[in-house]
Amino acid sequence: MPDGRVLVAGGPWAGTAWPAGLLDGPPGRLGGLVCPIVAPHAQIEIKRMMPVWDPRRPRRAKDAGDIARLREALRRPVSAPPTGGRPG
Alpha helices in the chain (DSSP H): 40-53, 61-75
Q: How many domains does the chain have?
A: 1
- Give, for all 88 residues of the chain, the pLDDT tens digit: 557 778 888 888 788 888 777 888 889 888 999 998 888 888 898 899 888 888 888 889 999 999 999 999 999 876 655 555 555 4
- Host domain of residue 58: 36-77
- Whether 59 contacts 51, CB under 8 Å: yes
| Angle, alpha carbons 78-80-75 (nearest 5°) | 10
- Per the domain annotation, does 47 fall within a domain? yes
Domain assignment present for residue 54? The answer is yes
